[in-house]
Amino acid sequence: MCGIMGYVGDREATSILLDGLRRLEYRGYDSAGISTLDSNRKIHVVKDVGKVEQLAQKAELSGLRGIAGLAHTRWATHGGVTMLNAHPHLSCNREVTIVHNGIIENYLELRRDLDAKGHLFVSDTDSEVIAHLVEAVYRNKKDVLPALTDVVRQLKGAYAFAAILADAPNVMVGARQDAPLVVGLGNGENFLASDALAFIGHTDRVIFLDNRELVLLTEKNVTIYDFEGNVKQKPATQIAWELGSVSRREFEHYTLKEIHEQKETVLQALRQDPRSVDVFVDALERAGKVYITGCGTSFHAALLAKLLFTTYAKIPVEVLLSSEFDQYEELLDKKALLIAVSQSGETADVLSAVKAARKMGVKVCSIVNAMGSTLVRESECTLLNNCGPEIGVAATKSFTSQLMIFNMLALRLGQREAELSDLWSTGRLVEKTLGLDAQIQEIADRLHVANDFYFVGRSLHHPLALEGALKLKELSYIHAEGMAAGELKHGSLALISEGVPVVVLNPEDGTYGDTLSNASEVKARGGRIIGVSTKPSKVYDEYIEIPVAAPNIYPVLEAVPLQMLAYYAAVSRQQNPDYPRNLAKSVTVK
């Protein structure tokens, strides 16, 4: 939630920061802003409510001079979506500008103290307190590092912030406590951001900051300290994400591009370092009990993993929602293994579950897309999705990558060699499924006026029914529910009336006959059946044909038309599928 970026170097900062903000927009898009420090040591700020493009249109932006600057894109937590609450914030004497991601828990207390000392606050945010605090402390210390260690000593909460002080030109500072912050090492310029994506066009050499670390950056130097002010030596990492993969190419939206990329990304998920897979498999084999945790779409991948592990590896698994994890903490013992699944590796609920588990001595392994993210660093072993940056806020390709990795692990554990090698056919099958694009667009065009949608499936198709409903809600704002097909008759059938769309996930596997009967029950009550299957039936009013495959591959193939349905329903309803209202891709608050 919220993307922050900073630049210090020898080029004009504004256009570099604006470009970075466009790449960070997935983290929030309630408002955006940029501040710079000019050669006369004056800080200038331009901000606006709305998306980055709105900021980019502002005439004042072209006059924003300075070779050091900060930028922010906001997902509102404290204070409404207003111009005054937009970042960057200034201290009252315009001596300090800051951008912040996270929550300052003791901001009211700090604000009262600063108020009493004569500081004038203009916003309702918790973040503004940082600007005033830096100003107040720096006035006494007159030295950036001691001022910064004093500031972080006083702040409570989860945060990453960057600041520039008029009195210390061309020095940028940053601090990290439970929110991501990455340093980009350039040539005669340096960067700071919530995500390396922001500056990947300029450098691929990065240093991932850890909790309780501070950083001072000038155009030539980067020095990292702990919160006590001791210098820390940290190696730089070279990251591999291609700049090209963050462009939309010929697609109208990132979401559509990412849906189409799945023909390759499902295979990239299988291309793992064999040693990492061995470590993961070994951890699963040794575990007394296996738990999997995640949120949103990643939680749905975890639900499917439970079925895969049970069916193919005969390993019982417990799936726990990360946001509910504290209710079950006591179940865990030292012999347990916790698998945390997260695209971003920064979801606060997931990190909090991991922290609790580690405290109890539980081994934590993870499945993550964003390399270098906090979850990777908090885990003893990790398998990366390898699907490249996912910009669309709703998860698409990262979900199918997670499904592929879980498939691979379950089949490895169950020594199902034939199915294991068959996984490589998934790319071709997904490619075939992508050919449904025009048909699904046409279905969405007709059905986007519906008020409610239902998604049903049994066994391996049940998590996909949940995911299909979540995707439709997220992207098109149509109310949707996913459920086990057999559960419909135990209550929800009461909601079916003439024309209500019900998506039935029903390829020919062991659940085919029962699910078809459930579909007939719905049809008899007037429901409009959209069958996703390998075999046509007169029960279906719309038939979406997916290719014949092994049962464990069907969920991956089903994901594609479900994602397309949500995408095209959003487009038909004139919503931007890349940036659904009220949501953010990386939810770094609990």
Residues marked active site are found at: 2, 585
By CB under 6 A, tell whether 296 contacts ligand G6P.
yes
The two tokens of residue 564 are: 């397309």
Q: For residues 298 and 518, which CB has a smaller minimum distance to ligand G6P in the complex?
A: 298
- How far apart are CB 151 and ligand G6P at their closest, in Å? 29
- How far apart are CB 371 and ligand G6P at their closest, in Å? 13
By CB under 6 A, tell whether 563 contacts ligand G6P.
no
Under 8 Å CB-to-CB from 353, ≥6 apart: which residues? 293, 320, 322, 325, 338, 340
By CB under 6 A, tell whether 585 contacts ligand G6P.
yes
The two tokens of residue 92 are: 């009252």
User: What residues numbered 458-517 form the site for ligand G6P, per CB under 6 A?
Assistant: none
Q: Which one of 85, 347, 366, 374 is in contact with ligand G6P (CB under 6 A)?
A: 347
As a whole number of angstroms, the distance between CA 100 and CA 574 comes to 32
- How far apart are CB 256 and ligand G6P at their closest, in Å? 16
Q: For residues 67 and 375, which CB has a smaller minimum distance to ligand G6P in the complex?
A: 375
By CB under 6 A, tell whether 127 contacts ligand G6P.
no
- How far apart are CB 255 and ligand G6P at their closest, in Å? 11
Q: Which one of 295, 381, 469, 530 is in contact with ligand G6P (CB under 6 A)?
A: 295
Taking CB under 6 A as the binding criterion, the range among 155-163, 202-210, 291-299, 507-515 that sits at the site for ligand G6P is: 291-299
What are the residues facing 24 on neighbouring strands? none
Q: Are 262 and 395 a contacting pair, CB within 8 Å? A: no
By CB under 6 A, tell whether 344 contacts ligand G6P.
yes
Q: For residues 571 and 587, which CB has a smaller minimum distance to ligand G6P in the complex?
A: 587
Where b means 16+ CB within 10 Å and e means fewer, 461-476 reads: bbbbbbbbbbbbbbbb
Residue number of the CB closest to ligand G6P reads 296
Geometric angle at alpha carbon 532, from 529 and 538, rounded to 5° = 50
Taking CB under 6 A as the binding criterion, the range among 103-111, 182-190, 227-235, 290-298 that sits at the site for ligand G6P is: 290-298
Size of the site for ligand G6P (CB under 6 A): 15
The enclosing H or E element of 252 equals: none
As a whole number of angstroms, the distance between CA 97 and CA 305 comes to 46
As a whole number of angstroms, the distance between CA 529 and CA 540 comes to 5
By CB under 6 A, tell whether 350 contacts ligand G6P.
yes
By CB under 6 A, tell whether 583 contacts ligand G6P.
yes
Taking CB under 6 A as the binding criterion, the range among 77-85, 344-352, 507-515, 561-569 that sits at the site for ligand G6P is: 344-352
Taking CB under 6 A as the binding criterion, the range among 144-152, 188-196, 418-426, 580-588 that sits at the site for ligand G6P is: 580-588
**Distance linking the first and last C-alpha atoms of the chain:** 11
Contact map string, positions 366 to 405, toward ligand G6P, x by CB under 6 A: ---------------------------xxx----------
Cβ–Cβ contacts within 10 Å for residue 157, how many? Answer: 16
Pairing of strands 3-8, 190-193: antiparallel
Q: Are 396 and 563 a contacting pair, CB within 8 Å? A: yes
Residue given tokens 């996984």 in the structure block: 423
For the chain, the residue count is: 590
Taking CB under 6 A as the binding criterion, the range among 136-144, 163-171, 440-448, 582-590 that sits at the site for ligand G6P is: 582-590
Q: For residues 358 and 428, which CB has a smaller minimum distance to ligand G6P in the complex?
A: 358
Q: How far does CA 50 lie from the centroid of its chain? A: 20
Q: For residues 402 and 433, which CB has a smaller minimum distance to ligand G6P in the complex?
A: 402
SS (H, E, C) 505-566: ECCCCCCHHHHHHHHHHHHHCCCEEEEEECCCCCCCCEEEECCCCCHHHHHHHHHHHHHHHH
Nearest to 6 by CA among 159, 199, 260, 275: 199
By CB under 6 A, tell whether 246 contacts ligand G6P.
no
- Amino acid at the residue 507: P
- How far apart are CB 324 and ligand G6P at their closest, in Å? 14
Q: Are 368 and 382 a contacting pair, CB within 8 Å? A: yes
Contacting positions for ligand G6P (CB under 6 A): 295-298, 342-344, 347, 350, 393-395, 583, 585, 587
